[in-house]
Structure 1
């Protein structure tokens, strides 16, 4: 039992470090990126999610387990070389990264429902906290889930085989704009 608790604790600390690195890297504070840089805003919306409202259970492990539809817009997208999406949870007892999609064509402005099963051409998904590649639906009923969209200054080069922290750092290093939609709790 002690070893299982230690393993969970190590995973939680690792995930919190990854999320903190991504947050600090894209906040413009310069900790990961040298001198501070301006991070522009992206408007993120969904036909099925509303900011600061519960996540419909169909997009959780209690439902169909599909990724929800997402839309984004910003004047900075014309300068982007790719788009990345990160879904994470930081408020539950078991913080986790649930989905990482990267190298989305910058002309793409939305992903439909269950896009994790049918990615746009040349887009890829990373292994998440659970080590599964693709959308790992949230399960914590009281968690807070962030659906973040990043406009990147370049494509992620040779990320195959990279660890989750390495992928998140690459995203942070290339971020020129960011937006998010936050779901609180699961219906």
Structure 2
């Protein structure tokens, strides 16, 4: 399995996500770029989750059906595809908002290249997304981790 290179111009891997992209700030989705998507990819899936949330892994962003020939997304934009309802109950991106006083939470951006379209419905949890991808098998994936603390 090959790897997808996933980056953001707003923050580096394992560094702090700027206030602008949090719910404390402007709640703008961060810019993302990617490369290394395998030729036989049918769709890309973007998932951003907070595994450190008190209630368990919390979905901040889930988009499926992203065209495999896409290369990224600008700040405040969503990649083309189907945006799902996140853990806050909103469709699309909602930024970090960990409990005040917690240690920095990790916000893990996953980009998956899949050989077939994934089937999800309703308001899937991060665990359900991972299970669906595991059942299908991924061709490649990339990960970017941002940190945020209040």
Normalised to the residue count of structure 2, the TM-score between the two structures is 0.83
Bigger proportion of residues as helix: 1
Residues 134-149 of structure 1: matches in 2 within 5 Å?
134-140=92-98, 142-149=104-111
Measured at CA, do residues 77 and 186 of structure 1 come closer, stay the same or move farther in structure 2, by a change above 3 Å? Answer: farther
Bigger proportion of residues as strand: 2
Measured at CA, do residues 44 and 182 of structure 1 come closer, stay the same or move farther in structure 2, by a change above 3 Å? Answer: same
Normalised to the residue count of structure 1, the TM-score between the two structures is 0.68
In structure 1, the residue matched to 2:34 is 72
Shift of 1:174: 4.2
Q: CA RMSD of the aligned region, Å?
A: 2.1
Shift of 1:40: 2.5
- Checking the alignment, whether the CA contact within 8 Å between 2:96 and 2:148 is kept in structure 1 is no
Which digits, 9 at most, give the CA deviation of each residue in 1:87-125, with x for residues without a partner? Answer: 011124344110001100000011111123xx42xx101
Residues 36-55 of structure 1: matches in 2 within 5 Å?
39-55=1-17
Measured at CA, do residues 77 and 96 of structure 1 come closer, stay the same or move farther in structure 2, by a change above 3 Å? Answer: same
Residues 64-143 of structure 1: matches in 2 within 5 Å?
64-74=26-36, 76-94=37-55, 95-116=57-78, 119-120=79-80, 123-140=81-98, 142-143=104-105
In structure 2, what is the Cα distance between the partners aligned to 1:102 and 1:45? 19
Structure 2: where are the runs of 5+ without partners?
A: none
